[in-house]
Amino acid sequence: MNHLAIAKVFLTTLSCIYAYAIPEAFAEAKHESERRVVVRTADSPKLIKFSAPTPARTEESKANGTIKARVHIRPDGYVSDVQPIGRNDTRLWMSVEKALRQWQYQPTVANGSAVAAVTEVVIEFPRPAPHNSGNVLLETDTYYVAEHAGEDWCFPQADKATVNVIFRAAADKDLSATPEYRRRFEAEIWPVIERACNPITTVFVSNYLAGVRVLGYEHAEIPETELLKGSQTERPINQLLIYKNPSGALEYKMMADYGTYASLAELRAARGQQAIVTLTATAPRQAPTLSEEEAFPPLQLQGLAHSRQIKTLYLGQFNLGQFSRMTPVADPTKLAIITDDGITGRKLLAAYVEAFSDRCPDSLSSNKIAIRETITRRSQRTNDVGVVVSDEILSSVTNDTGIFAEPRFAQAYVSVRNSDSFEALVTIMRQLMTKRASSFGGAGLSVLSEVLEIGAEMRELVARHGCKSPQIKRLGENILSYVKMQSPKPEYSFDAFAYYCRRTITAIIPQARPLSCPCIQKALQASLSPSQYWVLEDDFTEQRFLISALAKVGLPQKLAICL
C-alpha cells in the first residue's frame, strides 16, 4: 500500500518571539560608573567595554571636573592611542589616559571590512564629598558608613577593606574602641562591610564627625560645607585597625598615623585650638532593631494573590538549598522537570518586562531591545505511523509586539514566552493529576486566569512604587536571577536570621556576641526542619528562640559551643 495515499494533511500555526536592537535615535551615549564618573561617547562606534577612571578631581579644580579626549580605535575595536582635547587638569588626565587605553569598541565596518576609526569622548568627574567619602554603605540617625573615595576601598584578594564612619555627634564623642563602639561595629557595621566585600578579615576605619572638617598637618577646623583650597587635605579624628583573630573574635588597634585622639575635643585640647565649629549630639534611634521593612525599602503587597512568591523573590530568599522559600526553577524529580514555583517565577518575569515596558517607557535605556513575534503557518504530511514526510511553510508574518526590554532581560523574556504553551500544558496536567481541576478545559481556564492575574499584579506593583524606585529595580533583578537559576546579588539578598540575630542575641543570651550568630545559625539549620527554621526567622523573639533551641535533643549543647 502507498502510505502517502493515506497520508494525513494538517496545518500548524507556530508563534516565535525574538528580540532585536533598536537603532539609536540620537548621537550620544551616556555611561555612569558606581563612583558617579559620567562617560559621554558617540553612539557610533558603539562602546562595548569601558573602565571608568578613578575620581582624582580636587575640590578647587578650575578644570570644572571635565576631560575631553580623542580616541583612536584599531580595526579590532581596541584603543591604539588617546589624546587630550584642549586644556585639561593634569591629575585628571593621568587617570583618564590609563582608563581609556583599556576600552573596547564595536569594530567599524566599511565596504565589508573592519577599519580603524577615531572618536571623541567627554568624561565628567564629580566634586569630592567631605570626609573623603564615596558611596554610602550604611546610614542611621547617628552615623553613616561610606567607601573611601578616590581609590579602591575593597581588596577581597587581600581580605581587607577601607571605610569611613562619619558620626553625627558632639565634639566630646569618644570615637575610640569603647564597648559602645565595639557593639555598634560588630552588630551593624561589620556585617554590611562583609556583605559588600567578601572575604574580609581586616578593616581600616577612619572616624570623622559630621559638620566639621579637620585639616591635615595644621589640624585647623573648617565647616563641612567649606571647600578645601590649594594643597589642603582632610584628616580623620582617628583611625582604627580592626581584624579577626584566629578564634574569629574582632581585635581593635588605634593607628598612630593620625595621633591617638579619642575625640575632637581631645584633639583640640592637645593642639591648644579653639572650637571653630559648634557640634551637637544627635538623639539615638528609639528602636535599636531595624525591621525587615527598614532593612529593605517596603514592598506593598497588600491584596496580591502571589504575594508569597513576590516577597520571596524580592528578599532574595531562594537558591538557599533546603532553606529556600521557593523551589528551584528546574527539578529532575518533577514532571517535565520544571517546578510549579519555576513556572510562576517565569510568569512573573514576563509580567515584569511587559509591565515595565508599558508603564515605564522613559525609564528604559537607549540600548533597549524591541520584541517581535513571528507567526508561521506550516503544512505537514505524515504517514500512517506518524512520521513527517513533508514540511512546507505556507506563510510567515512578523509583527511588533510593542514590548521593549533591557538587554539583560530580553533573552530570558523571549525564552519564557516561547515556552508558554509547553509550561501551560505541564500545569494543566498537574492540576488534573492532583484533582485540582476536573476537566482539561477547566484547567486551561485556570492557567489563563493566573497569567492575567500575575500581569495585573505586576502592573499594580509598578504603579504603587514608581518606575525608578529601588523596590522595582531589586524585584526585577531578583526575578531574573531566579529564572536564570543564579544566586541573587549580595546587596539584593536579605538574610533575616543573621540580621535579627546580630541585633538581639546579646539581649537573649548575655554571654553571646553578634559574631556568634553564624555559628548559631549553622547549628539551628543542621537541627531544625525548614519550616521550624522559617518560624524562628519570621519571629526572632526571646520566647521563639528558646522554643527553637529546645526543639531537638542535643541542640542546646551545640549552641553552647558557639558562645
In a domain, 317, yes or no: yes
| CATH number (domain holding residue 112) | 3.30.2420
Residue 15 falls inside a structural domain: no
Question: Taking the mean position of all CA atoms in its chain, how far away is CA 198?
Answer: 15
Q: Work out the pLDDT band at 26, boundaries 50, 70, 90.
A: very low
**Is residue 212 within a helix (H) or strand (E), and if so which, with residue range?**
strand 212-215
Mean per-residue pLDDT over the chain, rounded: 78
pLDDT digits (tens, 9 = 90+) for 473-513: 999 999 999 988 888 887 788 888 888 888 888 888 877 88
**What is the distance, to the nearest Å, from the Cα of residue 286 to the centroid of all Cα atoms in its chain?**
29
Strand, coil or helix: 86: coil
Angle at 471 between CA 465 and CA 476, to 5 degrees: 110
- Strand pairing category for 250-254 and 238-244: antiparallel
The answer to whether residues 228 and 218 touch, using CB atoms and an 8 Å cutoff, is no
Number of other residues whose CB lies within 10 A of the CB of residue 131 = 24
- Specify if 4 maps to a domain: no
Of the three residues 492, 509, 539, the one that is the final residue of a domain is 492
- Report the percent of the chain where pLDDT is more than 70: 80
Residues 107 and 216 in one domain: no
Check: CB of residue 441 under 8 Å from CB of residue 346: no
How far lies 243's CA from each of 196, 248, 259, 261, 409, in Å? 16, 9, 20, 20, 40
Q: What is the pLDDT of residue 238?
A: 93
Co-location of 487 and 540 in the same domain: no
For the chain, the domain total comes to 4
Q: What's the rounded mean pLDDT across residues 167-179?
A: 92
Judgement on whether residues 161 and 192 belong to the same structural domain of the protein: yes
The rounded distance, in Å, linking the Cα atoms of 443 and 448 is 9
Q: What average pLDDT does the segment 286-306 reach?
A: 63
Write down the pLDDT at residue 250: 93
Query: Are 488 and 502 contained in the same domain?
Result: no
Average pLDDT rounded to a whole number, residues 452-475: 88
Q: State the first-to-last Cα distance of the chain, in angstroms, to the nearest integer.
A: 84
Q: Which of 26-35, 177-186, 268-277, 428-437 has the lowest mean pLDDT?
A: 428-437
**pLDDT above 90 (res 318):** no
Three cell numbers written together for 545: 528562640
Residue 426 pLDDT exceeds 60: no
At residue 71, what is the residue type?
A: V
Pick the range with the lowest mean pLDDT from 95-99, 310-314, 449-453, 520-524: 449-453
In a domain, 381, yes or no: no
> Do residues 331 and 474 share a domain?
yes
- 539 within domain boundaries: yes
Q: Is the domain of 188 the same as that of 223?
A: yes
Q: Are residues 136 and 259 in the same domain?
A: yes
Shared domain for 338 and 421, answered yes or no, is yes
Element (H, E) at 504: helix 496-508
The maximal CA–CA distance of the chain, rounded, in angstroms, is 113
Whether residue 79 sits in one domain with residue 46? yes
Confidence of residue 542 (pLDDT cuts 50, 70, 90): confident
**Does the N-terminal peptide bond of residue 514 adopt cis geometry, omega within 30 degrees of 0?**
no
C-alpha cell at 238: 582617628
In a domain, 290, yes or no: no
Residues 519 and 487 placed together within one structural domain of the fold: no
pLDDT (mean) for 307-324? 86
Whether residue 208 sits in one domain with residue 84: no
Tally the C-alpha atoms within 13 A of residue 461's C-alpha that lie toward its C-beta.
31
Which pLDDT score, from 0 to 100, does residue 205 have?
95
CATH number of residue 191's parent domain: 3.10.310
Task: Tell me the β-bridge partners of 39.
Answer: 31, 123
Domain that holds residue 150: 130-271
